[in-house]
Amino acid sequence: MPTPGESGSSSNREVVGAVLKACSLLEHFGVDRPTWTLNELTTVSGMNKTTVHRLMATLIHAGWVDRTDEGAYRIGLRVFEIGSSALEELDIRSAAKGYMSDLAEGFGDTAYLMVPAEQGAVCIDRVEGHNTLVVAGINVGTVIPYHAAAGPTVMLAYSEKLRDRWIRDDLPAFTDRTLVDAAQLREHLDVVRREGYSLSNSDYLDGVAAVAAPIIDRSGALIASISIGGRVEAFEGDDLSAKIDRVRDAAARISTVMQAIPE
């Protein structure tokens, strides 16, 4: 998977391949796997052992990586210092932008970032893909009721507070596919919560489908949703499966970034 904001052009003369390789090695380190041996990094990266050894030696010299007493590699303090500095100025829009661009570029659909508000889900950012469909009804500033469209629905599924305030028996229908029955809506939200994503199909705008996943803070509370939307026929079969995986992955990565921001 490309890193957020990566242009995708390998012919750019300003790009230094060795630096990209070093960065890709660093991306394997995380909370779930804080240390790696040389052999393990060689296997997971697909690079040869000599290249991995030289890159890691360079990262150690730069202060980005340390060695454990057993000889394994771990992230150095310098990375945390730089990361903390960046996080102090980070907000949800800037944290999500690169992932939204990747989704829009990768699938050609329009990517959306929405946050919860009193009257519904507010679209605070969007990135258009190359597909010809322009979803005219959803722009920055648009407020969508929580019981329709993928982005709002996934937020409703992940917030008991929103559920208690929003679900009722007189919900308006936007199309003949809008879910307005309170009992059926609750059952649908339970499925969304269990599966970790929401899928909509012409329930807010005819002919438009979308996939959304929640962005969660360190306490488990909902922050926002990220989604992609486009023509219904582009959200079927293997294409749909790929979009679900990528949107869920983007949401998880953004959640991790937001959870790291100092309180």
Q: Along the 263 residues of the chain, how does pLDDT read in single tens digits? A: 444 544 444 446 677 788 889 889 988 887 668 889 999 999 999 999 999 999 999 999 888 898 988 889 988 877 765 655 554 445 888 889 999 999 999 999 999 999 988 888 989 889 988 876 666 678 888 889 999 999 999 999 999 989 888 898 888 999 999 998 999 999 999 999 999 999 999 999 888 999 999 999 888 889 899 999 988 998 999 999 999 999 999 999 999 888 876 66
Range list of H helices, 108-179: 150-157, 160-166
- Domain assignment present for residue 10? The answer is no
| Structure token digits, residue 216 | 């969660």
Would you say the pTM of this structure is higher than 0.75?
Answer: no
Q: What is the DSSP letter of 149?
A: S
**Cβ–Cβ contacts within 10 Å for residue 122, how many?**
19
At residue 8, the pLDDT reads: 44
| Structure token digits, residue 171 | 């919900």
Please tell me whether residue 75 adopts helix, strand or coil conformation. strand
Distance CA 203, CA 210 (A): 10
Are 199 and 210 a contacting pair, CB within 8 Å?
yes
- Same domain for 100 and 48: no
- Same domain for 168 and 80: no
- Same domain for 255 and 217: yes
At residue 117, the pLDDT reads: 84
Coarse DSSP helix, strand, coil percentages of the chain, rounded to the nearest 5 percent: 45, 20, 35
The CATH number of residue 201's host domain is 3.30.450.40
Distance CA 261, CA 231 (A): 36
Are 162 and 114 a contacting pair, CB within 8 Å?
no
User: For residue 69, what are the domain limits?
Assistant: 17-88
- Same domain for 145 and 100: yes
Please tell me whether residue 125 adopts helix, strand or coil conformation. strand
Return the bridge partners of 67, or none.
Answer: 73
Return the bridge partners of 123, or none.
Answer: 114
